[in-house]
Amino acid sequence: MTKKQKKVFWRIIVAAVLVVVVSLIPVKGAARFFLFGIPYLIIGYDILKKAALGIWHKQVFDECFLMAIATVGAFALGEYREGTAVMLFYQIGELFQSYAVGKSRKNITALMDIRPDFANLLVDGEEKEVDPDEVEVGSLILVKPGEKIPLDGIVREGRATVNTSALTGESLPREIETGDEVISGCVNMSGVLTIETTREFEESTVSKILELVENSSMKKSRSENFITRFARYYTPAVCFLALAVALLPPIVQLAMGMSPLWAKWVIRALTMLVISCPCALVISIPLSFFGGIGGASAQGILVKGSNYLEILSKTKYVLCDKTGTLTKGAFEVTAMHPADGVSEGELLETAAVCECFSNHPISRSLKAAYGKEIDQERLSDVEEIGGHGVTAKVDGIPAAVGNEKLMKKLGMTFFSTEEVGTQIHVVKDGKYLGLLMIADVVKEGAKEAVAELKRNGVKKVIMLTGDSKKAADAVATQLNVDEVRSELLPSDKVDSVEAILALKNRGECVAFVGDGMNDAPVLSRADIGIAMGAMGSDAAIEAADVVLMDDDPGKIATAMAISRKTLGIVRQNIVFSLVIKFACLGLGAIGYVNMWWAIFADVGVMVLAVLNATRALVYKRG
């Protein structure tokens, strides 16, 4: 509990004890008024103050005004215990609501903790602790075990394990070493790192994420806007209705020559005011969405506003980019086909050594597959032939690595395969060693992610890619997507989204999922753009409405499931609250509901609605 919550808690305890004690004392008249007035003021002075300030600032119709009028009216009619009880239970409900809001902020607050407090700046070899805002691009900073990485950068010295859970929601740590890129907000678990900064703090990943989360509550859903408008008209309407209940029946009785029962009708009107307080709706609906956003952030899914959370629940068409979204977006050696009498080890080693000086993606994939440290002294006479490959000497022996064009140029006899990917042929000492297949491989869990989307009510999963038809069809077959459109330019992708938008039914939404780097036009054109965050790339955070921080396509279905759960809770609270409110209002008007039932209709409904809303915080991925 916060200090403020503890103060309210003890006020409730003291007031409740005094109400019980005073109820047992056999006093009447002014003494009874005075004795009940003590716990009433202890528990309700802040509500009375807020009501008075609301009237002063011409913002009359709110729950504080309703509580003040109802309880002061009850005291005026001699209903001291009921008036105090209304205020007491209202404060209990408010305390409960405050605690629930605090709990719902827990995941967001945990995310906010990724902001580093300091950076260890290296100046002429000396370490100096400074604010991250003071560090310029190109500076060297030192990050020790247990410290947060304060800025984005490249590791220049050191090797370590970093915890990325605050950004991705995943507990599995990452191994980084010299030359690797690192982002701010991660925690160094082992080893000392020297990092060259590549961004200022205000442009860093952690800064952009914090800004995104802080602003998420500003973008309200249609449900929230409806409740805001509803409360604006509902509260004054019930106030005038209560006034009519208090005045019209006695006036009619008086006109008919009957004795007017003022007290009876005023009590009914006050009861209606207590019942009518819209706390359950005004509090629980935003709390549900806030809880949904917090629950999503705990899964490594950043939702920029509750309006996007609402759209996710209506998504029926999911259009996915291929490279970097459904596939890893990086070349890997997928197959080795050595010639007769040649081992796979010799084939791969020759290719990796020949390519050891190059930073081409194909070269990097060959070195990664080899997995051993390469002595560059083994290589000499390197010549890169544009559009063909590389020739060189390995341990003084002529060798060549490249495509079919290079083999034909060298006059070599070679073989091919029908497998999808890039074929890399290898020659050494005039002998053909075989070929290596290099391709972009499907992400682990991508096939299951597509199946999960269909189980979650998505009508079509469509893959859009600029890749060749052969490569695209191969991936589409692996993933079981419903439709594939290949060899597309960025403008063609926008046209594809436009076509699906024209076909969808009313109330259905279209989502586009991309890597955020070159898909910004499509991300913004779809009803909702979902970006593979690439560990928080700038383009992903800026272009998309939802960011999946760990690039896991399975999180698309998770985001939709969280959205549907949140919207379900919102609808439950709206229906439950309104049904109870209107039923009790009707019964209160005809005298079948007393002040104690009114307390349940107000505080009881609010507590139940808030309890239900907190369920949005928790989501267990199956």
Task: Enter the tokens of residue 74.
Answer: 């009850």
Alpha carbon of residue 116 to chain centroid: 21
Task: Enter the tokens of residue 156.
Answer: 């220049």
Helix axes 63-76, 80-104, angle to 10 degrees: 160
CA distances from 204 to 248, 279, 544 (A): 65, 40, 17
The catalytically annotated residue of 113, 117, 180, 321 is: 321
Cα(602)–Cα(590) distance, integer angstroms:
18
The answer to whether the CB of 50 falls within 8 A of the CB of 564 is no
Task: Enter the tokens of residue 221.
Answer: 């859903």
User: Is position 321 annotated as part of the catalytic site?
Assistant: yes
- Candidates 546, 579, 562; CA nearest to 219 is 546
The answer to whether the CB of 141 falls within 8 A of the CB of 177 is no
Cα(98)–Cα(46) distance, integer angstroms:
15
The answer to whether the CB of 447 falls within 8 A of the CB of 358 is no
- Candidates 564, 561, 531, 553; CA nearest to 481 is 553
Residue 340: count of CB within 10 angstroms of its CB: 6
* 3 state DSSP class of 294: helix
Task: Enter the tokens of residue 463.
Answer: 């893959």
- Candidates 240, 305, 331; CA nearest to 544 is 305
Task: Enter the tokens of residue 614.
Answer: 């907190």
User: Residue 439 forms beta bridges with which residues?
Assistant: 332
Alpha carbon of residue 599 to chain centroid: 36
Q: Which residue has the tokens 């084939």?
A: 347
Report, as residue numbers or ranges, the catalytic residues.
321
